[in-house]
Amino acid sequence: MPDENGAHDSQLLKGVLSMALLRLLAECESYGYELVGRLHELGLKQIHEGSVYPALSRLEREGSVTARLVSSNSGPARKYYRPSPAGYASLAECEVAWTTLVRALEPILSRPVPRRPQEART
Amino acid sequence: MPDENGAHDSQLLKGVLSMALLRLLAECESYGYELVGRLHELGLKQIHEGSVYPALSRLEREGSVTARLVSSNSGPARKYYRPSPAGYASLAECEVAWTTLVRALEPILSRPVPRRPQEART
DNA sequence: GAAGGTACCTGACATAGCAAGGTACTGTGC
DNA sequence: GCACAGTACCTTGCTATGTCAGGTACCTTC
C-alpha cells in the first residue's frame, strides 16, 4: 500500500524532528546526511534532507548543538553536530512534553472506537 | 512551575488535534466549546478555542464530520459534530500513523541519554 | 572527463496551532 | 429595562516548520 498517510505524518512530525535529531546526536555525534539515514532506519521514511538540514541549522542557531567540519574521503566535508549543555536541557524538556502528550492521548486512543457514536445528551 | 513547554507543545500538537477531536467525536457527539473542556480534562490545557474551531471547520470541509445546530437554553445554539464514515476511515489512518510514530521514537527515547555523547568514528 | 554517490544548502509553498479580538444568545440581579 | 457573566461561535494575522524542488560541490571510479 502506498504511503497515503505521508501527508498526514508531515503534520504529526512537527516538533518531533528536532527532538529526534537531538536525541540521536546525544547518542552519537553525527551529520545531516547520516542522520537522514538513521531516521529512515527507525521507520521515519518520509523525512527528507530538506527537513533535516534546516532543522539542524535551527538547532545550531538556538545554541542547542555545536558543529564542526570534518573532511571526508568519500565526498565533501561533513558537518558533525553534537548537543550543547543547553541542548541536553532542551532535549529533556522536549521529552517531557512528548511523554505528556502521548500519555494524554492514551486514554482515548486505547479504547476501542465505538461502532456508533453515542447521541449527545440534551 | 509554569508551562514553559507550552510553546514547544504547539509544534508537537500539529496534526494531533484533528485526531483527538475525531476520536472524541467518535466517542460522543459534541460541540466546540465542550470539546475544549474535554481536551483540558485530558491534560491538553494549552489547546484554546482558536485552535479547535478552525480544526472543526477543516474536518467539516474535508467531509470527516457532519454538523447540526441544536439550540440551547444556556446560551447560543450549539453546533454538534459527529464523524462521517470518511471520518472514521480517516481516524483509523491517523491512529496508525500516530502509533507508528510513537513506536518509531520509542527505541531511541526509552534508552537513557548517555552522559557524554560518543565521539563519531572516522 | 563523465558519472554517480556523498554531502551540503536554499527558496517558494502549504499547513495548522496560537493570540487576540469580535459577535451574539441566555439567564440573573439590580 | 439594563448591565453583566457565562456560554458559544467565528475570524484575522502571526509564526513555526515540514515538503518539494532544485542547486552546488567534493570525491572516486571508469
Q: Convert the pLDDT of each residue in B56-99 to its tens digit.
A: 999 999 999 999 999 988 889 999 999 999 999 999 999 999 99
- Interchain proximity B108–A20, CB inside 8 Å: yes
Q: Of B70, B84, B86, B87, which Cα lies nearest the Cα of B34?
A: B70
The 3-state DSSP class for residue A30 equals: strand
Q: Which positions in chain A touch B93 (Cβ < 8 Å)?
A: 4-5, 8
C-alpha cell at A10: 508531515
C-alpha cell at A101: 502528550
pLDDT of A4 strictly over 90 = no
Q: What is the pLDDT of residue B99?
A: 93
Amino acid at A78: R
Sign of the torsion angle spanned by Cα atoms A37, A41, A47, A52 = negative
Q: What is the pLDDT of residue A119?
A: 67
Q: To the nearest whole number, what is the mean pLDDT of chain A?
A: 87
How would you list the strands of the sheet with A78-83, edge to edge? A30-31, A78-83, A65-70
Which residues of chain B from 57 to 76 reach within 8 Å of chain A, CB to CB? 70
Q: What is the CATH number of the domain that holds A61?
A: 1.10.10.10
Domain that holds residue B65: 6-110
Other Cβ atoms less than 10 A from the Cβ of B81: the count is 26
Q: How far is B63 from chain A (nearest CA, A)?
A: 16
Query: Any idea which residue has 454538534 for its cell?
Result: B80
Query: Does residue A60 form part of some domain?
Result: yes
Query: Does residue B34 form part of some domain?
Result: yes
Query: Does residue B17 form part of some domain?
Result: yes
Query: Does residue A105 form part of some domain?
Result: no
How many domains does chain B contain in total?
1
Query: Does residue B65 form part of some domain?
Result: yes
Query: Does residue A62 form part of some domain?
Result: yes
Query: Does residue A107 form part of some domain?
Result: no
Query: Does residue B121 form part of some domain?
Result: no
Nearest nucleotide over every DNA/RNA strand to the B51 CA, judged by C1': C17
Amino acid at B78: R
* Helix count and strand count (H, E) for chain A: 5, 3
Q: What is the pLDDT of residue B5?
A: 39
Query: Any idea which residue has 470518511 for its cell?
Result: B86
